[in-house]
Amino acid sequence: MKKYNIGILGATGAVGREMIKVLEERKFPVGELRLLASERSVGKKIAFGGKEIAVALADFGAFEGLDFVLGASANAVAKKFAPNIVKAGAVFIDNSSAFRMDENVPLVVPEINPEDAKKNNGIISNPNCSTIITLVAVNAINKLSKIKAMVASTYQATSGAGAGGPVELMEQTKAIINGGEIKAEVFQYQIAENVIPHIGSFLENGYTTEEMKMQNEGRKIMHLPDLKVNCTCVRVPVVRSHSISVTVVTEKKLEIDEVKKAIANDEGCRLYDDTEKNVYPMPLVTSDQDLVYVGRIRRDLINENGITLWCCGDQVRKGAATNAIQIAESLIK
Amino acid sequence: MKKYNIGILGATGAVGREMIKVLEERKFPVGELRLLASERSVGKKIAFGGKEIAVALADFGAFEGLDFVLGASANAVAKKFAPNIVKAGAVFIDNSSAFRMDENVPLVVPEINPEDAKKNNGIISNPNCSTIITLVAVNAINKLSKIKAMVASTYQATSGAGAGGPVELMEQTKAIINGGEIKAEVFQYQIAENVIPHIGSFLENGYTTEEMKMQNEGRKIMHLPDLKVNCTCVRVPVVRSHSISVTVVTEKKLEIDEVKKAIANDEGCRLYDDTEKNVYPMPLVTSDQDLVYVGRIRRDLINENGITLWCCGDQVRKGAATNAIQIAESLIK
């Protein structure tokens, strides 16, 4: 079996570390694994496949001989190294938002548009985490009848802010229980016992950059250029799964039973909808897993072509690391 | 100045205790204050106006001589005593949901429909907490142009489940920090570091009783019999303020600036919307207050007659105790 040399750019962050774990779990055919990070992480050792791999410096010459580079870095780092990665002949699967809206860069959720990945010019973007989870949840509906509009309110975990997010939640929680000063450095305000309707930065239209991703990235991934999305993104004191309250309006009226059946048969989803038994997706149920759980499926009370649902998925895995590795898998199939 | 004899039915619960506090704070002209509860609370002493008042037994003869009875009990208790309260000549302002949809009982938010309170036959219902907070937030918009439809996703605090809710959140949080078993008795599942899309009980249409209140009570309070509301109610690990992500669609297209101005001038609201300075409503900001904070006001990206906003208010106060006392105030004016 052919093996592939993989680089991870930003290997010591939350998403980078999860990528290492997911490569191993999914038995990706890894030849060399090259862990790349900034100066201060060089030399750190991370376990993979029964060995310890030392983190190397991410510099312009670090990408030679690699087949794939999985990007788990900030936008600036992704932009800095992308030309060298492509020049070295590797495919750069980038989790940052640097190239997502670039028309020469496919934006891919493998369950939705795997064919786009094949049309890459060396760079493929991994979408925003809430967008991935929401689109996987509604993809089966879109196949039954085209989605025209979507209203989404998110309940986003602290992990979305990187490794420091859950640490800050834990520190604040300890301070509430044991006394002590509550410090807010990662988030704008205290997140423990609070919710913050602010993720990303504010745009002139009153929405945040994070909120607009659901529409902008959704249009590109689903090939629905006229899709309208009204999104509100909210941080909640949860460790790592994102939840989203979603209403979609489709071209045709769908029956609830056919929607449930389609979601149950969708490869990326787990239908988790039995209200009689209190079965519905929750962050505690979906963490450390790759499937997007979908439940609370019911008819919109406003528009008869509307379906309302609640979905939940692990932001670090399907929302980031797993999706990137699934893109690589789709390319080597 | 005329004074009024007030009874509180369920005086030892979270809402009952808050009613005592709010009566004092708002300098309601109280003559006698009679604190009523079930057997196990009889004799407990609660401070009011510099005195200690002993809790008396709520029984059929307990209401003679009262002008108002503020109800902070479960539905069954409200139903049991309502006829005796009315017979005793008191006005029963009931926070339970027992009579809310009864056509002979007005359902009142004093900022919205104070005139309905005057048409009472001895019973006035206090609406559901999320409904009160949401309707106060959108009332000024409805005055500019009638609301036809509303999509709401709630972020409801643990206080909505009574005094035991915040206690369970705190106990679970301690168990997370210090180790120990996590017990879920008040909520269906662990609420600490989780969100639960289930408040109330499930109906045949897939919505919960709590979710349908927003439409059913909203129609009655706002005198909008055709109002359509699509609501998703979610419990979050917050102590006592509820937050709601809301989109309303109005008959006419409104300008964002006129909406902001109307909300700023609305007596029940505080416009709290300056995204450049990270000013938006949050539970931590709004707890222990009577105003509903409204922010993140922007145009709906789906419907040009739509307005999207985020509101937040103290569930125990404006969502329950304060609203009931404001109803009494509107009657004695």
State the catalytic residues of A.
129, 242
pLDDT at position A116: 98
User: In this model, does residue B1 exceed pLDDT 90?
Assistant: no
pLDDT at position B44: 97
Q: Could you tell me whether strands A51-54 and A45-48 are parallel, antiparallel, or unpaired per DSSP bridges?
A: antiparallel
Residues 6+ apart with CB under 8 A from A269: A136, A137, A139, A140, A263, A291, A292, A293, A294
Q: Are residues B218 and B181 part of one domain?
A: yes
The CATH number of whichever domain residue B138 belongs to comes to: 3.30.360.10
Residues 6+ apart with CB under 8 A from B151: A151, A247, A302, B229, B230, B231, B246, B247
Q: Tally A–B CB contacts below 8 A.
A: 162
Task: Please answer yes or no on whether B310 and A282 come within 8 Å at the CB atom.
Answer: no
Q: How many domains does chain B have?
A: 2
Q: Are residues B191 and B117 part of one domain?
A: no
Q: Are residues B87 and B204 part of one domain?
A: no
**For residues A102 and A252, what is the distance between their CA atoms, to the nearest angstrom?**
32
Q: Which residue, among A107, A6, A5, A21, has the nearest Cα to A290 in the 3D structure?
A: A21
Its pTM stands at 0.97
pLDDT digits 0-9 by tens, B64-100: 999 999 999 999 999 999 999 999 999 999 999 999 9
Mean pLDDT along residues B41-53: 96
Task: Please answer yes or no on whether A298 and B205 come within 8 Å at the CB atom.
Answer: yes
Q: Are residues B255 and B287 part of one domain?
A: yes
Q: Are residues B139 and B90 part of one domain?
A: no
Going by pLDDT thresholds of 50, 70 and 90, the confidence category of residue A122 is very high
Nearest CA in chain A to B174: A177
Q: Are residues A142 and A106 part of one domain?
A: no
Domain of B119 in residue numbering reads as 4-126+320-332
Task: Please answer yes or no on whether B296 and A197 come within 8 Å at the CB atom.
Answer: yes
Task: Please answer yes or no on whether A301 and B256 come within 8 Å at the CB atom.
Answer: no
Nearest CA in chain B to A249: B302
Q: Is the dihedral of CA B68, B120, B208, A192 positive or negative?
A: negative
- Kindly report the nearest CA distance between residue B301 and chain A, in angstroms: 5
pLDDT at position A69: 98
Mean pLDDT, chain B, as a whole number? Answer: 97
Mean pLDDT along residues A142-151: 98
Q: Are residues B242 and B115 part of one domain?
A: no
pLDDT digits 0-9 by tens, B270-282: 999 999 999 999 9
Select from A238, A297, A306 the Cβ nearest to the Cβ of B193: A238
Q: Which residues of B touch A284 (CB under 8 A)?
A: 189-190, 193-194
Q: Are residues A258 and A119 part of one domain?
A: no
Task: Please answer yes or no on whether B155 and A236 come within 8 Å at the CB atom.
Answer: yes
Say which residue the tokens 């934006």 belong to.
A107
pLDDT at position A1: 84
Q: Are residues B153 and B18 part of one domain?
A: no
Select from B151, B234, B281 the Cβ nearest to the Cβ of A155: B234
Q: Which residues of B touch A194 (CB under 8 A)?
A: 238, 282-284
In the numeric block, which tokens belong to residue B31?
Answer: 């003559």
The CATH number of whichever domain residue B47 belongs to comes to: 3.40.50.720
**For residues A247 and A150, what is the distance between their CA atoms, to the nearest angstrom?**
6
Task: Please answer yes or no on whether B296 and A232 come within 8 Å at the CB atom.
Answer: yes
Q: Are residues B294 and B179 part of one domain?
A: yes
**For residues B238 and A197, what is the distance between their CA atoms, to the nearest angstrom?**
14
Q: Are residues B139 and B121 part of one domain?
A: no
pLDDT digits 0-9 by tens, A129-138: 999 999 999 9
Here the ipTM equals 0.96
Catalytic residue list contains B242: yes
Q: Are residues B151 and B85 part of one domain?
A: no
